[in-house]
Structure 1
Amino acid sequence: MNRVIAIVSPGSAPTRRLIQESRSRNAVIDMTNGRRTKAVLITDSGHVVLAPINPETVAGRVSSSKGNRADGEYED
């Protein structure tokens, strides 16, 4: 998950524009399976990932997968 640049909610106009522009470039990865998009992940490769879970949940899962502890230090 070190390729994720930003995790945002889909409600703002700039985010919606980014999704539409990415759709026109065929750079959208839709993981919602027909559910409502709650989080938008932006990657360093320019892909936009649509997720059906809250941005806070995604951020927590990303940080736990990187091995972060609560104090911000990495585990060995």
Structure 2
Amino acid sequence: MGVKLLSVGFGNTVVVNRVVAVLAPNSSPMKRLRGEAQKNGRLVDATFGRKTRSIIITDSNHVILSSIQAETIAQRLASFCDEK
């Protein structure tokens, strides 16, 4: 069985099994989470300068910013669950 990759936009991918959560970036706790990850060197910005529309948390505590809506990424994740 191969590694399944989730597209987070602009040719960037994340290993599906490493994703813990997909969150909307609007709230203050998400802004703090983003700031802490940046301070600790765990922030990956995959937005290419566009507006952040979702935050992906991995099992390694990395925070990935994406310009794709959180709902869209959640649907993509769900499609991997349906394949099993």
TM-score band by shorter chain is: 0.7 to 0.9
- Which of 19, 23, 29 aligns to 1:4? It is 19
Q: Does 1:59 align with 2:84?
A: no
- Which of 26, 33, 37 aligns to 1:18? It is 33
Q: Does 1:49 align with 2:64?
A: yes
Taking only the aligned residue pairs, the percentage that are identical comes to: 41
Indicate the structure with greater strand content: 2
TM normalised by structure 1 equals 0.85
Quote how far apart the aligned CAs of 1:62 are: 1.6
Unaligned 5+ runs, structure 2 = 1-15
TM normalised by structure 2 equals 0.77
Q: What do the CA deviations read for 1:15-70 (whole angstroms, capped 9, x no partner)?
A: 10000000001101111000000000001100000000100100111222x2516x
Q: Could you list the runs of 4 or more consecutive aligned residues of structure 1 that deviate by over 3 angstroms after TM superposition?
A: none
Cα distance in 2 between the residues matched to 1:48 and 1:30 = 8
Unaligned 5+ runs, structure 1 = none
The structure number with the bigger radius of gyration is 1
Cα distance in 2 between the residues matched to 1:62 and 1:41 = 11
